[in-house]
């Protein structure tokens, strides 16, 4: 069976700016994919191309086996089975929240009454059941975003596109929205694509994550892959704090290496077999635990609620360690640490 | 030209710039006398009427059977272009010689007269007095109305006055206003002490109680007339019959009832006096020149 | 927008409309012009042309200034009785320009009401300054409506607040943020008023003649009015072509400037704050009311008094009052003509706005050209355009309302277009995308999203075209036929050679019923509010 | 010395909606305060009131000792020493990014050249130095947000107001922006107020956090206070996942209690002295560690990059536990856990 969405070697341009290039992406029914990339990396552009707002300059996009976009032809948005949450919401200012949400129902042929009822239900689901009579201008930013979400969900689509859908939503509402999307996925086999710069969100909700950098997909993988085995330091930083230190690696087979730094060594995974080579090793903060052979001075303390991040200056470079609880060490203190594991990304060897 | 397009649907089409109530009264009388005749009137101000005629002549769609105009200026051109039928109505003798040609005939008379502020001690009695009177004198713009142009034509072409008459008027405080109506209004409101205007407008105001007096100039009012003619290519017997009717005593009385001086002297008309007339053919030929001279005096 | 409208028959429809409404008639005119160009005596003088340019530019500048200030006042400042103020500013739109001229003359002219009462007259009312002033006051609602529409669809308040919190005073914020955002609308208004100015006939005829101030239009009138000589006709057409050329040059220069500055659509954004800040401007509001009273209400009262008075020169006191002047201006044909005029104005307004919206939708070079073409129709003086329409459609459509309608739409298309164009540029593309990915086809998206967002502009343009058409005199008096006379024509035909009380009555008849009809609508129906969207 | 910003009993209304009420807030020079609240809680409204966009219905606001807003009078924004990042950016569409940022410099009297230079520097600082010539309409959402940030920073203000300033920014840019704000605070003594729904951000950057709920401030405190000693379960959830279980508490003095659940007991802090009472205890996921006396079945697993959250159904209610690393337990597995600590919020006793 062909995938629900197929993007093959897609490039998209804004007159002279190439916003996306070489994008290959298949999404199956029921799957959730996250597009993760920094600001300006082309996430919204990918969404717009899938929704049919901009033509592709190269490649093609098909949905459910039907060719939708190629450089010659862009089929119009209304015939694509797609629901979209806009990054900037794009609510219609002349309609109330309820009318905004009822709109897709009306277009799908529901009676006015029916559409209003369904829209009211959706608004209640996203937690603003009482605000249906307000115009977008009379709602707070997050409330507007929820109207945008409800409007997208009002279209019964095969692919839902969410462009930064929770940028202004607190965790409580976020959970409700994620729940609704999961339900649709399971009940209707819809797929969902999230565009987000929030790696935590991407890793938490997606089955697969695509990392975009300057319009190019540089890594595609499961959340665990993306987090623990990033393709390079840049991607690693995108998904959370990471420290890079250099050491000498010796292979232990089956992707495992032993890394020697100063007097001590620690085990790490490696993308490619390496032996007796100087490598850059990436270390996540939670892979560093307090107490142990590696000594350093605390140069930064950041309390992050559930945990505290310490930046430790060691002889081999700065390392960030994440320890549960509120700060227990102060800046300037000396202490010992253990590196539990590391990751040697591909092509990170040097002479 | 519109020659080929002679329509024969039996409808009599009149293009006119004469006042609506006058046309209405005459047409009503004609229709009563000729129950089978169907008459359609297109009435427009002179400018619009000549523009329409010009346009229709260009694309050959002129359907008018009759032109009935306010003053004898435009009709000169139609006559020269051979648009008008040369003929002699039975009633021709009723129209004074100076108010007709071989193809168009006067239907009513308009007179340019003097009006003066009613409170004036020494009212002007003739045209010359206007150049010596104390105070501003209102002159209607000859560029706007045929009647005002008639005055210009008369004075400029007359050996007794010449264009210098306007220079004298101007030097003595002559002010140009737009129309004869504005002259009446301005004098009535005390803005000007006297002015040159149409007898009809002045008479209406006086009758309604305006504080002005109408002066019939001693040497005569400058008289012009509203000509009527058959469009040769279209006009049927009905058209000729209509003109006959307009010149009839009955129609002339109707015209007089609407407040205009009839062309026939045998119709009762109390408000009249000596008349001065113009060589319209000459005035027409020298139109641009006259207006340019005038403008040089009043606008230069 | 252009991307959204791809694969639609829009360009085709617009091309056909341009060809039929502007192309053919103007081609006929050009044909005449070429034929007569070497005709002896056809050369018009320079002076009326200079005068006309002066009136056009003066009126455009003054009107846009007045309209934009008024719009900023009612939409941005804290003023009491905002609805009433809007109404007051819109009032002159109900008054035909020649009525304004007449009423100003009666109120403030030599031996006007003010002169009679306290011996004061407005210096310079007769002459270029007075002409510019009266045209501007009459056209201010036009600039006001266009600016308000653009304020609603373009310059949102949060953008001004951003300027304030960056350190800009209200005036600086208006200069640097609000007005630049309104530039397309202001330019559109300026173009329209410029053309209104160079095309004005009634006002210069009333206020210019006594000062011997001739404009191109009064010359054209004289050329046509005096005689049917070919050279007069030729000169009229040459002068008209000059007007068209001037309008074309000035407006395309302005557009080129604007185009270089670039289109500045705002991306759809979450709605930001839109409070009304600042102190209530009581003094300024009072001042504006006085201005409205002096500019509109007092002259109208003067006019009504004149119309009621038995004869010129009598004091306008009840003892001298009569209804005879009105009786003279009305007769049995009045009602039929009223119906026809209303129908024509409805049709013309709807078609002009519809076609205008189409042109506004084409946001590319072709759209700009079509916009210019539409403006040409507006720039041709009424008498000349009517001749052109007669030359093109006269034989086929003689004596039908369709002939008059064609002339109206050809003339007023530009009003529909410019009203909308200033606002259309800022409909964020995402709002249309959102509709389409909710399942709406192009036409549904236009109907449900674009048009409602443009409502202030669409309604404003519609009202303007309706009133222009309702008051139209020159073209209808040339084009009407048996059974197709319009209100203005039927009244005009009853007029006695410029009899002042009767023409005042005529003016009152053209104005007051509209006022009486419109005010309850405006107040009870809360029309300005609805017309301009919420807020 | 009076505080830099003083809000005293402030209420703000939008015609009939009371958006903020009873707000007391002092901000000192150099301080960073976060307004944390869910969507619609009144954060933006507080910002607008401080910036002078909306009048206060009650109370008053003074800045640097000068009365700025009271119900009678609202001094205009331009005379307030305030810089604001709008939640919706509010960039001027007719100006380029550079012109947008240069604008406040121009208003402060800098020459055109000077303003452009300074603006270019600021744009470079927020990472879009190369996009100065583009209009806002040609920028991605995050890029626009950065222009908005740079424009706010272009005003030399005493108080910077940031309304969700990093909603569309990835962690890399975020860090740069936070750094710039810290620098100003230190160099110029400016204060900063952040409105955010993102508790992690609030806790990481603020000296003090104000929790808003439906327009009312319900807790003010340091980040550690807010996270570890929330005023109720609702606030606790706002700042991160939390489990609430009920047990019987016995006081140990000095705010410490021992909580008995089933057979085992654990130590907890308490807002008020309690004794032998049934209480609701709040437990953060990282306060629960694997292995130990409390048995439960895993009913939910969420991978969050640095850690995995397990939802465990115990006899005393559901408890969430956060364990570093990728998932090691699957749904349905039985395992033992230890609760390291807990928090008994005020007024949580029941009979
Ligand atoms: N113009 C308005 N008219 C009426 N109510 C409004 C208006 N603007 C905001 N509100 C209401 O006031 C309350 C506070 O809004 P505010 O924008 O301050 O919330 P917020 O905390 O900034 O939310 P968010 O995180 O979603 O931006 C909300 O309930 C909102 O619906
Ligand atoms: N209309 C436009 N014209 C020119 N360039 C554009 C336009 N829209 C976007 N771009 C550029 O294309 C690139 C990709 O933009 P896009 O909006 O897809 O980014 P994004 O990943 O969604 O970023 P963000 O997270 O900030 O929303 C950016 O560099 C942006 O500057
Ligand atoms: Mg984006
Ligand atoms: Mg907000």
Tell me the DSSP string of C321-339: B-SHHHHHH--THHHHHHH
> How do residues C23-40 score in pLDDT, each as one tens digit?
898 888 888 877 776 665
C452–A contact, CB cutoff 8 A: yes
For residue C471, what are the contacts with CB-CB under 8 A and spacing of at least 6? C96, C488, C510
Mean pLDDT across A299-312 = 82
CB contact under 8 A, A168 and D169: no
Q: Which helix (H) or strand (E) holds D210?
A: strand D208-213
Report the residue among A88, A143, A168 best suited for mutation to probe ligand 1: largest number of ligand atoms under 8 A from its CB. A143
Residues of chain A positioned with their CB less than 8 A from the CB of C533: 94
CB of residue D45 inside a 6 A radius of ligand 1: yes
Dihedral sign (CA D102, D108, D110, D112):
positive
Q: How confident is the model at residue A229 (pLDDT cuts 50, 70, 90)?
A: very high
Residues of chain D positioned with their CB less than 8 A from the CB of A197: 142, 168-171
CA D88 – ligand 4 centroid, Å: 9
CA A182 – ligand 2 centroid, Å: 28
Q: What residue has token string 């105070």?
A: B135
Among candidates B20, B55, B205 on the partner chain, residue whose Cβ is nearest the Cβ of C390: B55
> How do residues C163-178 score in pLDDT, each as one tens digit?
888 888 888 988 888 8
CB of residue A75 inside a 6 A radius of ligand 1: no
* Rounded Cα–Cα distance for residues B154 and B158 (Å): 6
Buried b (16+ CB within 10 A) or exposed e, A116-148: bebbbebbebbbbeebbebbbbbbbbbbbbbbb
Report the residue among A12, A15, A23, A45 best suited for mutation to probe ligand 2: largest number of ligand atoms under 8 A from its CB. A45
* ipTM, two decimals: 0.83
C278 pLDDT more than 70: no
What is the predicted pLDDT for the residue at B300?
A: 63
Quote the percentage of chain C above a pLDDT of 90.
Answer: 16
Lowest mean pLDDT among A142-151, D58-67, D273-282: D273-282
* Rounded Cα–Cα distance for residues B222 and B109 (Å): 10
Ligand nearest to the CA of D86: 4
CA A140 – ligand 4 centroid, Å: 5
> How do residues A168-222 score in pLDDT, each as one tens digit?
777 777 777 778 888 888 888 889 999 988 888 888 888 999 999 999 999 999 9
D351 pLDDT more than 80: no
What is the predicted pLDDT for the residue at A160?
A: 93
Measured in whole angstroms, how far is the alpha carbon of residue B162 from the centre of its chain?
A: 22
Mean pLDDT across C498-516 = 72
C504 pLDDT more than 50: yes
* Rounded Cα–Cα distance for residues B285 and C11 (Å): 51
Interhelix angle C401-424/C333-361, rounded to 10 degrees, is 40
CB of residue D196 inside a 6 A radius of ligand 1: no
CB contact under 8 A, D76 and C170: yes
Closest among A125, A136, A185 to A158, alpha carbons compared = A185
B31–C contact, CB cutoff 8 A: no
D155 pLDDT more than 60: yes
Q: Which helix (H) or strand (E) holds D174?
A: helix D171-188
**Residues of D numbered 95-124 whose beta carbons fall under 8 angstroms of chain C's beta carbons: which are they?**
103-104, 107-108
Query: pTM of the full predicted structure?
Result: 0.86
Task: Tell me, letter by letter, the H, E, C secondary structure of A97-115.
Answer: HHHHHHHHHHHCCCCHHHH
> How do residues B144-154 score in pLDDT, each as one tens digit?
888 899 999 99
What is the predicted pLDDT for the residue at A99?
A: 95
CB contact under 8 A, C500 and B184: yes
Higher pLDDT, D235 or D173: D235
- Nearest C-alpha of chain D: how many angstroms from C162? 7
Q: What residue has token string 């113009």?
A: B278
A8 pLDDT more than 70: yes
What is the predicted pLDDT for the residue at C32?
A: 80
What is the predicted pLDDT for the residue at B8?
A: 59
Closest among D88, D60, D65, D57 to D195, alpha carbons compared = D88
CB A284 within 8 A of CB A241: yes
Residues of chain D positioned with their CB less than 8 A from the CB of A141: 39, 44, 87-88, 163-164
Q: How confident is the model at residue C327 (pLDDT cuts 50, 70, 90)?
A: confident
Q: Can you tell me whether residue B109 is helix, strand or coil?
A: strand
CB of residue A168 inside a 6 A radius of ligand 1: yes
Lowest mean pLDDT among A50-59, A242-251, C348-357: A242-251
Among candidates A40, A285, A303 on the partner chain, residue whose Cβ is nearest the Cβ of D223: A303
For residue B24, what are the contacts with CB-CB under 8 A and spacing of at least 6? none
For ligand 1, atom 8: residue with the closest CA:
A138
Structure token pair of residue C120: 């004061």
Residues of chain D positioned with their CB less than 8 A from the CB of C172: 107
Report the residue among D140, D142, D171 best suited for mutation to probe ligand 2: largest number of ligand atoms under 8 A from its CB. D140
Q: Can you tell me whether residue D181 is helix, strand or coil?
A: helix
- Alpha carbon separation from B183 to A345, B217, B291, C26, C54 (Å, rounded): 100, 17, 19, 39, 28
Dihedral sign (CA C521, C524, C528, C531):
negative
CB contact under 8 A, B178 and C498: yes
CB A195 within 8 A of CB A47: yes
Q: Can you tell me whether residue B192 is helix, strand or coil?
A: coil
Substitution target in B41, B189, B201 with the highest count of C β-carbons within 10 Å is B189
Q: What residue has token string 């002219």?
A: C109
* Rounded Cα–Cα distance for residues B168 and B145 (Å): 22
Q: Can you tell me whether residue B183 is helix, strand or coil?
A: helix
Quote the percentage of chain B above a pLDDT of 90.
Answer: 55
* D45: closest chain A residue by CA: A140
CB of residue D87 inside a 6 A radius of ligand 1: yes
For residue D54, what are the contacts with CB-CB under 8 A and spacing of at least 6? C273, C275, C277, D12, D14, D45, D48, D74
Lowest mean pLDDT among A101-105, D35-39, D300-304: D300-304
What is the predicted pLDDT for the residue at C505?
A: 78
> How do residues C392-410 score in pLDDT, each as one tens digit?
898 888 889 999 999 999 9
Structure token pair of residue A56: 């592709």
CB D254 within 8 A of CB D243: no
Q: Can you tell me whether residue D198 is helix, strand or coil?
A: coil
Q: How confident is the model at residue B186 (pLDDT cuts 50, 70, 90)?
A: confident
Closest among A300, A297, A320 to A245, alpha carbons compared = A320
* Rounded Cα–Cα distance for residues B126 and B215 (Å): 8
* Rounded Cα–Cα distance for residues C478 and C382 (Å): 9
> How do residues B207-220 score in pLDDT, each as one tens digit?
888 899 999 999 99
For residue D167, what are the contacts with CB-CB under 8 A and spacing of at least 6? A164, A167, A168, D87, D145, D198
Structure token pair of residue C525: 């129906």
* Rounded Cα–Cα distance for residues A247 and A261 (Å): 5
C278–D contact, CB cutoff 8 A: yes
Among candidates D14, D87, D286 on the partner chain, residue whose Cβ is nearest the Cβ of A325: D286
Q: Do chains C and B have 3 or more beta-carbon pairs under 8 angstroms? A: yes
> How do residues D156-207 score in pLDDT, each as one tens digit?
899 999 998 777 777 777 777 778 888 888 888 889 999 988 888 888 888 9
What is the predicted pLDDT for the residue at D130?
A: 92
A275–C contact, CB cutoff 8 A: no
């Amino acid at each position: 069976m062909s995938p629900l969405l197929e993007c093959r070697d897609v490039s998209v341009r804004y007159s002279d700016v190439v916003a996306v290039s070489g994008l290959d992406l298949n999404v199956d029914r029921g799957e959730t994919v996250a597009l993760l990339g920094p600001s300006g990396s082309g996430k919204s552009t990918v969404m717009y191309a899938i929704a049919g707002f901009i033509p592709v300059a190269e490649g093609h996009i098909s949905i459910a086996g039907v060719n939708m976009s190629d450089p010659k032809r862009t089929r119009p948005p209304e015939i694509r089975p797609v629901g979209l949450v806009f990054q900037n919401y794009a609510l219609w200012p002349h309609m109330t929240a309820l009318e905004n949400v009822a709109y897709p129902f009306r277009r799908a042929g529901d009676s006015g009454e029916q559409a209003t009822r369904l829209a009211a239900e959706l608004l209640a689901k996203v937690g603003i059941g009482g605000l249906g009579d307000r115009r977008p201008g009379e709602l707070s930013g997050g409330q507007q975003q929820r109207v945008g979400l409800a409007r997208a969900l009002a279209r019964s689509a095969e692919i839902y596109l969410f462009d930064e859908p929770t940028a202004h939503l607190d965790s409580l509402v976020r959970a409700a929205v994620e729940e609704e999307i999961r339900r649709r996925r399971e009940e209707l086999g819809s797929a969902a694509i999230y565009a987000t710069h929030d790696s935590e969100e991407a890793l938490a909700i997606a089955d697969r994550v695509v990392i975009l950098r300057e319009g190019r997909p540089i890594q595609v993988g499961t959340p665990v892959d993306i987090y623990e085995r990033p393709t390079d330091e840049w991607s690693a930083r995108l998904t959370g704090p990471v420290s890079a230190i250099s050491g000498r690696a010796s292979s232990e087979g089956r992707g495992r290496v032993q890394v020697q730094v100063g007097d001590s060594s620690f085990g790490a995974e490696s993308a490619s077999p390496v032996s007796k080579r100087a490598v850059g090793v990436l270390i996540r903060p939670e892979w560093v635990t307090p107490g142990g052979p590696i000594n350093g001075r605390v140069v930064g303390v950041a309390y992050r609620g559930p945990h505290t991040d310490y930046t430790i200056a060691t002889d081999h470079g700065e390392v960030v360690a994440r320890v549960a609880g509120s700060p227990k060490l102060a800046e300037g203190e000396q202490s010992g640490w253990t590196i539990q594991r590391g990751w040697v990304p591909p092509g990170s060897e040097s002479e | 030209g519109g020659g080929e397009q002679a329509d024969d649907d039996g409808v009599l089409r009149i293009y006119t710039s004469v006042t609506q109530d006058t046309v209405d009264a005459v047409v009503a009388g004609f229709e009563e006398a000729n129950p089978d005749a169907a008459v359609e009137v297109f009435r427009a101000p002179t400018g619009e009427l000549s523009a329409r005629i010009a346009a229709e002549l260009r694309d050959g769609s002129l359907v008018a059977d009759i032109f009935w105009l306010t003053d004898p200026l435009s009709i000169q051109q139609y006559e020269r272009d051979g648009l008008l039928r040369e003929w002699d109505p039975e009633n021709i003798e009723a129209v004074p010689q100076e108010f007709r040609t071989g193809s168009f005939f006067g239907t009513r008379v308009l007179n340019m007269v003097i009006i003066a502020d009613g409170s004036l001690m020494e009212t002007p009695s003739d045209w010359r007095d206007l150049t010596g009177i104390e105070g501003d004198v209102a002159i209607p713009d000859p560029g706007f109305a045929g009647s005002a142009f008639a005055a210009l034509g008369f004075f400029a072409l007359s050996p007794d006055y010449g264009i210098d008459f306007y220079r004298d008027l101007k030097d003595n405080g002559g002010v140009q206003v737009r129309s004869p109506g504005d002259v009446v209004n301005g004098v009535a409101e005390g803005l000007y002490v006297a002015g040159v205007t149409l007898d009809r407008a002045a008479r209406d105001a006086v009758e309604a109680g305006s504080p002005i007096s109408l002066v019939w100039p001693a040497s005569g009012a400058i008289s012009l007339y509203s000509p009527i003619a058959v469009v040769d290519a279209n006009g049927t017997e009905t058209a000729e019959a209509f003109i006959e009717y307009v010149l009839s005593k009955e129609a002339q009385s109707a015209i007089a009832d609407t407040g205009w001086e009839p062309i026939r002297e045998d119709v009762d008309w109390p408000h009249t006096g000596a008349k001065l007339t113009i060589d319209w053919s000459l005035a027409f030929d020298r139109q641009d020149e006259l207006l340019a001279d005038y403008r040089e005096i009043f606008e230069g | 927008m252009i991307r959204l409208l791809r694969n639609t028959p829009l360009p085709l429809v617009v091309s056909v409309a341009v060809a039929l409404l502007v192309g053919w008639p103007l081609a006929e005119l050009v044909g005449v012009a070429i034929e007569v160009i070497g005709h002896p005596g056809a050369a018009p003088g320079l002076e009326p042309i200079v005068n006309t340019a002066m009136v056009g530019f003066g009126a455009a500048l003054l009107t846009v200034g007045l309209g934009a200030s008024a719009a900023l006042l009612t939409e941005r400042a804290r003023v009491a009785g905002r609805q009433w103020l809007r109404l007051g500013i819109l009032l002159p739109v109900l008054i035909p320009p020649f009525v304004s001229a007449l009423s100003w003359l009666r109120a403030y002219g030599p031996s006007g009401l003010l002169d009679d009462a306290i011996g004061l007259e407005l210096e310079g009312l007769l002459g270029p300054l007075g002409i510019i002033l009266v045209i501007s006051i009459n056209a201010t609602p036009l600039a006001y409506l266009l600016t308000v529409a653009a304020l609603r669809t373009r310059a949102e308040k949060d953008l001004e607040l951003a300027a304030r919190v960056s350190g800009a005073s209200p005036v600086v914020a208006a200069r640097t943020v609000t007005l630049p955002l309104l530039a397309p609308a202001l330019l559109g208004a300026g173009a329209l008023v410029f053309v209104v100015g160079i095309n004005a006939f009634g006002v210069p005829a009333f206020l210019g003649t006594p000062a011997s101030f001739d404009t191109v239009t009064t010359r054209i009138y004289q050329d046509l009015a005096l005689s049917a000589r070919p050279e007069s006709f030729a000169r009229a057409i040459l002068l008209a072509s000059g007007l068209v050329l001037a309008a074309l040059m000035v407006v395309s220069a302005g557009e080129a400037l604007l185009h270089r500055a670039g289109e500045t659509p705002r991306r759809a954004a979450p709605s930001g704050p839109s409070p009304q800040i600042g102190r209530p401007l009581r003094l300024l509001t009072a001042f504006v009311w006085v201005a409205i009273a002096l500019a509109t209400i007092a002259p109208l009262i003067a006019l009504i008094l004149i119309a009621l008075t038995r004869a010129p020169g009598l004091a306008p006191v009840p003892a001298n009052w009569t209804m005879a002047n009105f009786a003279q201006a009305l007769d049995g044909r009045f009602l039929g003509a009223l119906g026809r005029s209303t129908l024509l104005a409805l049709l013309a307004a709807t078609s002009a706005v519809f076609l205008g919206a189409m042109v506004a939708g084409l946001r590319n070079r072709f759209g700009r050209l079509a916009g210019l073409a539409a403006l040409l129709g507006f720039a041709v003086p009424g008498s000349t355009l009517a001749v052109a329409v007669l030359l093109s459609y006269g034989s086929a459509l003689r004596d039908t309302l369709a002939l008059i309608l064609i002339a109206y739409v050809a003339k007023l298309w530009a009003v529909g277009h410019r009203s909308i164009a200033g606002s259309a540029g800022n409909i964020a593309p995402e709002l249309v995308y959102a509709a389409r990915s909710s399942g709406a086809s192009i036409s549904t998206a236009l109907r449900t999203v674009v048009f409602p967002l443009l409502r202030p502009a669409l309604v404003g343009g519609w009202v303007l075209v309706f009133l222009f058409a309702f008051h139209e005199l020159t073209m209808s008096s040339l084009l009407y036929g048996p059974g197709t006379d319009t209100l203005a024509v039927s009244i005009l035909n009853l007029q006695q050679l410029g009899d002042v009380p009767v023409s005042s009555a005529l003016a009152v008849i053209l104005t007051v019923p509209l006022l009486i009809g419109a005010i309850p609508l405006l107040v009870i129906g809360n029309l300005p509010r609805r017309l301009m969207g919420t807020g």
